[in-house]
Structure formats: C-alpha cells, structure tokens
Amino acid sequence: MDHYKSNIRALLRRYKDGKCSREELERLYDELSNNNDDVDKAIWESLLQEVETAKLSDQKFDDLYQKISSKTITSKKRPVKRLLPFWAAAAAILTIGLFAIYRYSDNFHKTTTEAGRYTELIDVAPGTNKAVLKTVDGSLVVLNEAQDGIIMGEEITYTNGVKVAEFASSDDVKEQYELSTPNGGTYRVTLDDGSIVWLNAASKLIYPSKFSEHERKVIIEGEAYFEIQKDAKRPFRVASGDQTVEVLGTTFNISAYPEDDFVRTILVEGKVRVNHKDKSSSTVYLRPGQQSIFKNGGKISVTEGNIMEQVAWREGLFYFDETALTDAMLQISRWYDIEIRYKADFSQTYFYGQIPRSKSLKNVLNILEEGNVRFRLTKENAKNVLTVLSAQ
C-alpha cells in the first residue's frame, strides 16, 4: 500500500511540474480511475491534496477530480468561513507567477471543434475609466479612457478642461443626459450645481444639463457614490426604481442593480430621507453609518451598515467582511466583465479582506485561493468565463 501511494504521489508531482510523459499521464489517469477497494478514504484525501485543481488544464482530469472529491468530502453541512488575509498580509502572494499550462498529448487534447469554443485564459485585465454619454439629441459620445470624469457647464468638458465634443450643454431642464458605464468601467460627472457622482461598473445616471430653480433630481440604475452640494432651497432627489432618496447636502452610496431584488442606500455623512415614491408612510431617516434596504413591494428596513464595505469600490478596492462567495463573485464579474459559473454549492463560503481593483483577475484569484477555493478561467464563444470549482 505504501509503495502504491508513493508511486501515485510521484506521478502527481511530475504532473504538477509539467514533466509527465505520455505514458506516465496514461498510467496516472488509469491509477486514479481504478476503484480499488484497498484505497480507503484517507488515502484518497491525501492524494487529492497533492494536486491543485486550478492547474487541471484538461477536462478529463478535472472530471476525475470532481468524481474523486465527491466520494471523500464529508456531506455534513456547517458554516465554513474562508479566511482571506488582509492586503498587508496578502501582498506577497501577488509575487506568485501565473502558472504554466502543460500541453498534453493528442489523447488529452480537446477536439478541434471544442478548441474553437473553449480555450484556456491566462489572465483578464481589470476595469478602467470607460463610459458613454448620451446627449439630448440622442447622440452617443464614447468618453476618453485617459480621463476619469466630465464636468457639466456651458460646455461639457473633461476634468482637465478639454471639451468633450463640439456641442454645448443645453439649458432646458426638461432635456436629459445619460451617462452609462459598461461592465469593467467607472466614471464620474460633476453636475450643474457642483455635486459629484461616481458611477461603478454597469451603471447609468440620467440627469439634466441644468437643474431647475426648485429641485435637483437624477435617476440612478446600478451603483453610484454621491457627494451633494448643500442648497437649502433646492433639495436633491435620487430616484432608483420605486425608491427616492432626498437630501440637502450629504454623502451616500446607492446600489440599485436591476438583477437585485433590493436597493441599498448607506449614509456616509449628513442626513437623508428614504421613501417609497407612492407611499408617504414608508419613509425612514438615516444617520451616518446606517443603511436602508428597500425591497420590491415597498418595504424599507434600516440596519447598521459597514460603510467601508459599501463604498470601497470608490477607493479602488474589493472589500470583503464575511462576504458570501456568490456576492464577491458578482462584484468580480462586473469589474472584469466575466461570466461566473459554479460547480458546487458555495452558500456557506465567505471571504474576508481587501484587494486593490487595479490588479489583474489572475492576481485577485491567487489571493482568493488562499481561502481554499479553486477557479478555472476560460474563453467560450468569445465570452470570458470564470468557473468556481471547489471549496475545501
């Protein structure tokens, strides 16, 4: 038994190092596929620890791993908290080079048809300054990625003073502009009153070129961070679905993505009123550090919130504090414009810590894998796909 186990381990090490010959690969697969009653659960678990599933670049071995692991991992359900080191402790992890993908013999290659549809990806670049401005006449202007924002005035300019395009800003308060960011994009706009709105990825802000004398109103879809200038005569209102937030001068963050069944508002400083647009009785006031959750149907709840967790994106960070893996993956999917798939139930897997959003996707995954989660990065039919393989 010891000789058998030692032999398998040796092959696994050569497999990890990309040194297996064709004959050794065939033998390794045959040995692992053999349902030998003499190989008990403890030995299988020991063998599984010898290979990192993120390096299984062949579907045949990946399927085998899933088959073996399903036999050995306990079915007992209990909360599993995956400890992710904070950035200061995790920085060294980023020095790990991207793993080399060992190319196997024709027996382990996918067919030509599959190869055109399904290929390995080495990395994905992070998001950047990307946005499109829809003007009052319906024209679409792709904004400069070298700039981080625009300023509304008699002319529309970038933050460095350069004109956005050869058109003047309209003075008609009824005519609306639309600033939108794609997946993997972020941008900001300084409004007519001096208020600043930062848009996160996959978000849209609708606003007038010039506010009226009585109110200031914008519409948000997605996520945005607001710094509102005080103006006692003109309250500032932010509409997102059936929710309206009203302020005089304050700083807050709203998350209102269409795919979510709620709108989350967290107050950083100042005071805001949150209400259902058609129900005056459904009104709450927030103080700094509190958040409201507005669910479909008009119910609004108020709890103490984690400001950093909600606004870290504005500081260029992913921030996880007992964040469910699925929620973390949702943030990653929007920022790297990538589809997420799951090969297991991760409902009891959580992350802690912070990672700069300026890092490439592979560097982020290297850190997340310190929590014993494994990933596979591929391109399928021109779409980047991240598959979450396992949590041990």
For the entire predicted model, the pTM comes to 0.69
Q: Are strands 383-391 and 132-134 parallel, antiparallel or unpaired?
A: unpaired
Half-sphere exposure of 202 (CA within 13 A, CB side): 18
Q: Which residue has the tokens 């391109």?
A: 379
Three-class SS of residue 330? helix
Instruction: Name the pLDDT band for 58 (thresholds 50, 70, 90).
Output: low
Q: What is the pLDDT of residues 214-231, one digit of tens each?
A: 889 999 999 999 999 999
Contact call for residues 268 and 251 (beta carbons, < 8 A): yes
| pLDDT at position 169 over 70 | no
Instruction: Name the pLDDT band for 16 (thresholds 50, 70, 90).
Output: low
SS (H, E, C) 191-258: CCCCCEEEECCCCEEEEECCCCCCCEEEEEEEEEEEECCCCCCCCEEEEECCEEEEECCCEEEEEECC
The per-residue pLDDT for 295 is 86
Position with higher pLDDT, 126 vs 57: 126
Percentages of the chain per state (helix, strand, coil), in multiples of 5: 25, 35, 40
Residue from 307, 306, 278 nearest 294 by CA:
278
Domain ranges across the chain: 1-50, 52-120+316-392, 128-311
Write the CA distances from 121 to 130, 167, 251, 331, integer angstroms. Answer: 23, 42, 40, 20
Average pLDDT of every residue of the chain: 77
Q: Which amino acid is at 103?
A: R
Range picked from 12-21, 31-40, 236-245, 340-349 for highest mean pLDDT: 236-245
| pLDDT at position 345 over 70 | yes
- Alpha carbons 267 and 248: distance in angstroms, whole number: 13
- Alpha carbons 243 and 273: distance in angstroms, whole number: 10
Q: What is the pLDDT of residues 120-132, one digit of tens each?
A: 767 899 999 999 9
What mean pLDDT do residues 11-34 have?
Answer: 63
pLDDT > 90: percent of the chain: 47
181 CB-contact burial (10 Å; exposed 0-12 / middle 13-18 / buried 19+): buried
User: 202 Cβ partners below 8 Å, 6+ apart?
Assistant: 181, 182, 183, 185, 222, 257, 334
The per-residue pLDDT for 375 is 92
248 CB-contact burial (10 Å; exposed 0-12 / middle 13-18 / buried 19+): middle
Dihedral sign computed on CA atoms, order 277, 282, 288, 289: negative
The per-residue pLDDT for 107 is 33
Which tokens belong to 131?
């946005």
The fold of 52-120+316-392 is Phage tail protein beta-alpha-beta fold (3.55.50)
Position with higher pLDDT, 124 vs 96: 124
Half-sphere exposure of 286 (CA within 13 A, CB side): 33
The per-residue pLDDT for 182 is 96
The per-residue pLDDT for 253 is 96
221 CB-contact burial (10 Å; exposed 0-12 / middle 13-18 / buried 19+): buried
Considering only 77-91, 213-227, 301-315, 374-388, which range has the smallest mean pLDDT?
A: 77-91
Which tokens belong to 386?
């991240």
Write the CA distances from 276 to 113, 117, 194, 241, 347, integer angstroms. Answer: 53, 47, 27, 9, 31
Position with higher pLDDT, 360 vs 56: 360
Three-class SS of residue 287? coil
Domain with residues 128-311, CATH architecture: Sandwich (2.60)
Contact call for residues 62 and 376 (beta carbons, < 8 A): yes
Angle at 364 between CA 358 and CA 366, to 5 degrees: 145
